[in-house]
A and B are shown apart, each in its own frame.
Chain A
Amino acid sequence: MNKADELVGVVEEVALVAPTGHQGRRVTGRPLPVVIVTAAGSVAVLTLTGVGWLNQPAVAAWRTVCLAITVQALPFLLLGTVLSGAINAFVPAELFTRILPRSPALAVPVAGVAGVVLPGCECASVPVANSLIRRGVTPAAAFAFLLSAPAINPIVLTATAVAFPGSPAMVAARLLASLVTAAAMGWLWLWLGREEWLRPAVRHAGHRPGRSRWTEFRLGFQHDFLHAGGFLVLGAMAAATFNVAVPRSVLDTFSGSPWLSVLFLAALAVLLAVCSEADAFVAASLTGFSPTARLVFMVVGPMVDLKLIALQAGTFGRSFALRFSTATTVVAVTAGALIGGALL
């Protein structure tokens, strides 16, 4: 952890040194040398002083897990930002209004089911949902898509079937509980959601006349990727901290009580931030817990976790991310527990 703290410190300094006023001022050669000097300086400091404690077992394990989450998520984040950039620059806004039902209340479940088409894990869905809103899709429908896509795509469902051989009910329950949660959250947004919780940048459209669509695509893509990537690293650091600091053997102490175990596995899903393609295998390994608790783990995980909260805070704004994640957790736990109780 120390390394990250030190590097973040350095990074912060760089960010302060490099002036951030960006309203049309010409840059005159200063940032690049500053960056290079600081980078070279921090590398020199690390090689001279740091190497010893960087290799302490706990620190090394933390670095490995943190880097693993980041590396694993980067291709999917790229896929998501490419898709969202393309939607922004090339897809006409009318297309979505034509496909989705007029009434927002009907558009929510349709968008939720449409989540089937986006393969991959949850990192891809945040930028795509953002671009859908920018293209005029009602936020409620976009959020239903955001929540359902990582949980119900064929890759994830196949992984679930492989992880729980001989219990197709688990796959069905996961599909159903995820869809119900996504739709419920969409409707909840229609009922209680306020536009001003969303960061202003989300609300206006991408393409402006007078600039080539390709330039638009490239700049939008670059901005979205760097932005979301930074938050991804932040979320990966938080998740890696819990991953390394909380020994798995603690888990078994909670498996006795049915209600506590459901809540505990929901919290674990949020803290561990396991990719949705892998969470079924983690759930299968939690053998001491009831099937319902494991179902809740798989319903909550793709919808709310530390790296997703960080990504959403970056994309939609902090006040949105906190409210939305809290509400989603409550709805997902309820849906998972009810459907698990009925089907498993």
Chain B
Amino acid sequence: MKRHAQVLLLVLTGLGLLHAALFSDLCLRYVKEGLRPLLIASGVLLLLLGVAGAALDRAAPEAGPHAHAHAHGHDHSAAPRIAWLLFLPALSLLLYAPPALGAYTASHANSKAVPKEQRFDPLPATVPLPMTLTDFTARVQQDREQAVRGRSIRMTGFVTPAGRAGGWYLTRIIFTCCAADSQSVKVRMYGPPALPANTWVAVTGTWHPTGALGTKSATAALDVHRTEPISPPVNAYTDDLPLTPS
């Protein structure tokens, strides 16, 4: 790989990172929010390096002492061919960034382990009660007090069709580091027909009685009374409380 191409590659990679982390929220589709400062720093560093390379190489062209100093083939002025692969992520970030993970991944993943709660606080009296999918699952399967029985609950997430049997899940995908370690939380929805996959919705409904509430035999499922489409959140990889409806 020639000097020009190396400079181009460094600049494009730097610009790609800056585009994803500084000028837009693209990076949140792939990595956690906390990595953003590091991505910006990396982008700046690569950009500076590319610009410095371009300026310095022009000032002192390749006929310098290093061009022929290495007779045994490890010449620092020529990067190996494998480096061409780096153009893929750089151009992908700049021109055609893939979407956040969605229904396809959720339908192929097994569900996230819901943490064991020692004890549950009393639920607030709000109607409908906003809950996260994780909270709802924990309440249904672990809360001996059966506090969710009969409560009207509001949750948000995206639609994952349940396959051949029909029906659908309200879903969230959560990761700790990057999209490669994603896990999904799913709650089965009963009632209205499935919207297209990956539609973000807010649903309101009550627990769908299957199994004994408060034990492992209960399934996290909801009899849906109302669904309304919402706009996708900026950071889709969280299990947030839905905004309280006004």
Of listed B1, B72, B113, residue having the most chain A CB within 10 A: B1
Q: Does the CB pair A222–B91 fall under 8 Å?
A: no
The answer, yes or no, to whether A320 is at the interface (CB within 8 Å) is: no
- Asked whether A230 lies within 8 Å of B84 as measured between CB atoms, the reply is yes
Beyond A11-B84, A243-B180, is A226–B63 a contact (Cβ under 8 Å)? no
B85 interface residue (CB < 8 Å to A): yes
A-B contacts, 21 listed (Cβ < 8 Å): A20-B1, A20-B81, A24-B62, A32-B8, A35-B8, A57-B103, A57-B197, A60-B99, A60-B104, A64-B29, A65-B179, A67-B93, A74-B39, A222-B49, A226-B86, A230-B83, A230-B86, A233-B89, A274-B177, A274-B181, A279-B181
Provide the bound-state CA to CA distance between A82 and B49, in Å.
12
Residue of B nearest to A219 (CB): B76
Cβ-defined contact, A240 with B180, below 8 A: yes
Q: Residue of B at shortest CB range from A82? A: B45
A188 to chain B, nearest CB (A): 27
Q: Does A330 contact B (CB under 8 A)?
A: no
Whether B180 pairs with A22 at a CB distance below 8 angstroms is no
B56, B80, B100: the one within 8 Å of A230 (CB): B80
A27 touching B98 in the complex, CB below 8 Å, given contacts A274-B177, A281-B176: no
Q: Which residues on A sit within 8 Å (CB–CB) of B68?
A: 23-24
Residues of chain A lying within 8 A (CB to CB) of residue B61: 26
Choose among B62, B79, B109 the residue that contacts A227 (Cβ–Cβ < 8 A).
Answer: B79
Chain A, residues 222-244, CB within 8 Å of chain B (1/0): the string is 11001101110110000110011
A75 touches B113 (CB 8 A): no
Report yes or no: A64 in contact with B99, Cβ–Cβ below 8 A. yes
Q: CA of A234 to CA of B104 in the docked complex: distance in angstroms? A: 23
Interface size on B, residues (CB 8 A): 81
Known: A223-B79, A230-B80. Is A208-B69 also a contact (CB below 8 A)?
A: yes
Interface bits B27-64 vs A (CB < 8 Å: 1, else 0): 10111000100110110011001001100100001110
Residues A7 and B3 in contact in the complex (CB < 8 Å), given A61-B104, A249-B110, A285-B113: no
A251 touches B65 (CB 8 A): no
- Evaluate contact between B97 and A65: CB separation under 8 angstroms: no
Q: Do B91 and A39 have beta carbons less than 8 Å apart?
A: yes
